[in-house]
Amino acid sequence: MQLPAWQTALAEAFNDPQSLLSYLQLKPENLAERQLAQHQFSLKVPRHYAELMAKGDPHDPLLRQILPGGEELVDRAGFIDDPVGDLQAKQQPGLLHKYQGRVLILTTGACGVHCRYCFRRHYPYQNGTATPAQWQSILDTIRNQSSIQEVILSGGDPLMIHDPRLAKMVAELRALPQLKRLRLHSRLPVVLPQRITPELLELLSSNRLQSIMVVHTNHPNELSPALAEACEKMRSAGITLLNQSVLLKGVNDDAETLVRLSEGLFEIGVLPYYLHLLDRVTGAGHFEVESNRIESLKAQLLQQLPGYLVPRMVREIAGEASKTPV
């Protein structure tokens, strides 16, 4: 059987710093520390995403998001392995129920790209992900709680699951009468736009549930023509498109970049939803933005953008009943 194009592209993703640096015409520097950082969380970058980076620029904002480096090995006070309390909130394997009316399913541990700032970089996915066997008990749990109206497929990245299995999962969710909405959080439309297959569009739209796709972009350079095309297809299929970003030092911590991101997203039919402050996860301290700078950015965004293009700035605090506005 022939693999879908997106799976072939994933198999060809960069997986070591040296070949990525050489592709970008950068000096292969600090490879020993990069290897050490790789042991904690490996490098993974589809070629499409690498093509959006500037050749010869070691400070490229997309490169900074994915290149392992020695700064990750520095211990920082307050940075821990499970900053958002996922392990504590875990009711049953693969299911997180922290907020009223919506549950989050950890469908897979796999991602199409490895983001160095990711709060799940230390998450023990082996026991935290829904296996097909656990899936049935997740469905039972949802069925027995009539207050749950929305299911969020997350991970990892739910679009790493191939379409036939995803179609089966969605069909089973659709059969739960109290569910109204199905939300997916994914970075694949950004790093691998060919993932938006006709089969995926079909399974998300031929369906009584309202579908929402929360894409995850952090910088306007990520808004490629291929992403615009994928978004156009999703919109035509009736899927509501939102974006979430993480505020990252050296990537998007200036008003000009964030304004361009919001405007660029709107041009391709995506509304800014959340701008998350960094989760204080071990190894990501070099991405943290100082609090006075955060305040000033917030004021500038309010001033420079129409209200509907200002993302809600939030932080996730373990044990809280929602994301916490900043």
Ligand X SMILES: *Cc1c(COP(=O)(O)O)cnc(C)c1O
Q: Which does 113 bind (CB under 5 to 8 A by kind): ligand SF4, ligand X, none?
A: ligand SF4
Residue 184 found at the interface with ligand X (CB under 6 A): no
Tell me the two tokens of residue 181: 């909405």
Residue 322 found at the interface with ligand X (CB under 6 A): yes
Amino acid (one-letter) located at 118 = C
Minimum separation from the CB atom of position 158 to ligand X (A): 13
Minimum separation from the CB atom of position 64 to ligand SF4 (A): 14
Tell me the two tokens of residue 217: 């972009």
User: Closer CB to ligand SF4, residue 111 or residue 251?
Assistant: 111
Residue 99 found at the interface with ligand X (CB under 6 A): yes
Minimum separation from the CB atom of position 325 to ligand X (A): 11
Minimum separation from the CB atom of position 176 to ligand X (A): 17
By CB under 6 A, the residues from 104 to 133 that bind ligand X are 104
Minimum separation from the CB atom of position 112 to ligand SF4 (A): 7
Q: How many CB atoms lie within 10 A of CB 144?
A: 8
User: Closer CB to ligand X, residue 195 or residue 323?
Assistant: 323
CA–chain centroid gap for 216, Å, is 5
Q: 233: helix, coil or strand?
A: helix
Q: How many residues bind ligand X (CB under 6 A)?
A: 8
- Residue numbers at the binding site for ligand SF4 (CB under 6 A): 111, 113-115, 118, 120, 156-157, 187
Torsion (CA) 221, 227, 229, 233 in degrees, nearest 10: -150
Minimum separation from the CB atom of position 81 to ligand SF4 (A): 14
Minimum separation from the CB atom of position 299 to ligand SF4 (A): 27
Residues in a beta bridge with 68: none
Q: Which does 120 bind (CB under 5 to 8 A by kind): ligand X, ligand SF4, none?
A: ligand SF4
Q: Which does 114 bind (CB under 5 to 8 A by kind): ligand X, ligand SF4, none?
A: ligand SF4
By CB under 6 A, the residues from 144 to 173 that bind ligand X are 152
User: Closer CB to ligand SF4, residue 97 or residue 187?
Assistant: 187
Strand 210-216, strand 95-99: pairing: unpaired
Query: Which range binds ligand X by CB under 6 A, 55-63, 72-80, 98-106, 134-142?
Result: 98-106
Residue 98 found at the interface with ligand X (CB under 6 A): yes
Tell me the two tokens of residue 309: 């293009």
Interface residue with ligand X, options 67, 96, 113, 203 (CB under 6 A): 96
Residue 315 found at the interface with ligand X (CB under 6 A): no
| C-beta contacts of 316-325 below 8 A and 24+ residues apart | 316/83, 316/84, 316/119, 316/276, 316/279, 318/83, 318/84, 318/85, 318/88, 318/89, 319/85, 319/88, 321/98, 321/99, 321/100, 322/99, 323/274, 323/276
- Separation CA 194–CA 26 (nearest Å): 28
User: Closer CB to ligand SF4, residue 48 or residue 120?
Assistant: 120
Residue 323 found at the interface with ligand X (CB under 6 A): yes
Backbone angles phi and psi of 221, in degrees to 5: -65, -15
- Separation CA 301–CA 254 (nearest Å): 10
- Separation CA 136–CA 212 (nearest Å): 23
User: Closer CB to ligand SF4, residue 152 or residue 305?
Assistant: 152
Q: How many CB atoms lie within 10 A of CB 190?
A: 27
User: Closer CB to ligand X, residue 64 or residue 120?
Assistant: 120
Residue 92 found at the interface with ligand X (CB under 6 A): no
Q: 4: helix, coil or strand?
A: coil
Minimum separation from the CB atom of position 266 to ligand SF4 (A): 22
DSSP 180-226: -EEEEEESHHHH-GGGS-HHHHHHHHSSSSEEEEEEE--SGGG--HH
